[in-house]
């Protein structure tokens, strides 16, 4: 059973940076796609970035491209999300998700992920 534990959220001002971490069960990166999603109050959970295990390529939402960077560290089983130039619209609870299926055209869809972490709050003030 895969387990995911996020950390690193907090409050920053516009233009600031935060780094989120998701520690996964050992071996997860070899058997699952893994990614970051976020959910703002009153909104649906949306895709942020993901690492696809089949081709080892990372994917980003257009809204975070060039500002956020996802990385995997197999030695520590950690998926990180470096967030720079943060904006108030980035405010949300950020979740780490993993899935066994690795179909490219569904990598951005939350309902195709099997396992979720507990989430970590990110708040960006103007």
pLDDT at 102: 82
In which element (H, E) is residue 44 found? Answer: none
The one-character DSSP state at 30 is: H
* Per-chain mean pLDDT for the chain: 96
> Which residue, among 55, 37, 39, has the nearest Cα to 108 in the 3D structure?
37
pLDDT of residue 101: 83
pLDDT tens for each residue of 3-62: 999 999 999 999 999 999 999 999 999 999 999 999 999 999 999 999 999 888 999 999
């Amino acid at each position: 059973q895969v387990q995911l534990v996020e950390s690193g959220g907090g409050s920053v001002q516009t233009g600031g940076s935060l780094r989120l971490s998701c520690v996964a069960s050992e071996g997860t990166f070899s058997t699952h796609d893994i990614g970051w999603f976020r959910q703002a109050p009153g909104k649906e959970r949306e895709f942020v970035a993901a690492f696809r295990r089949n081709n080892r390529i990372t994917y980003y939402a257009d809204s975070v491209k060039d500002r956020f960077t996802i990385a995997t560290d197999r030695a520590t089983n950690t998926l990180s999300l470096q967030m720079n130039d943060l904006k108030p619209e980035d405010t949300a609870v950020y979740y780490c998700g993993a899935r066994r299926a690795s179909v490219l055209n569904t990598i951005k869809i939350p309902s195709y992920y099997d396992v979720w972490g507990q989430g970590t709050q990110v708040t960006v003030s103007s």
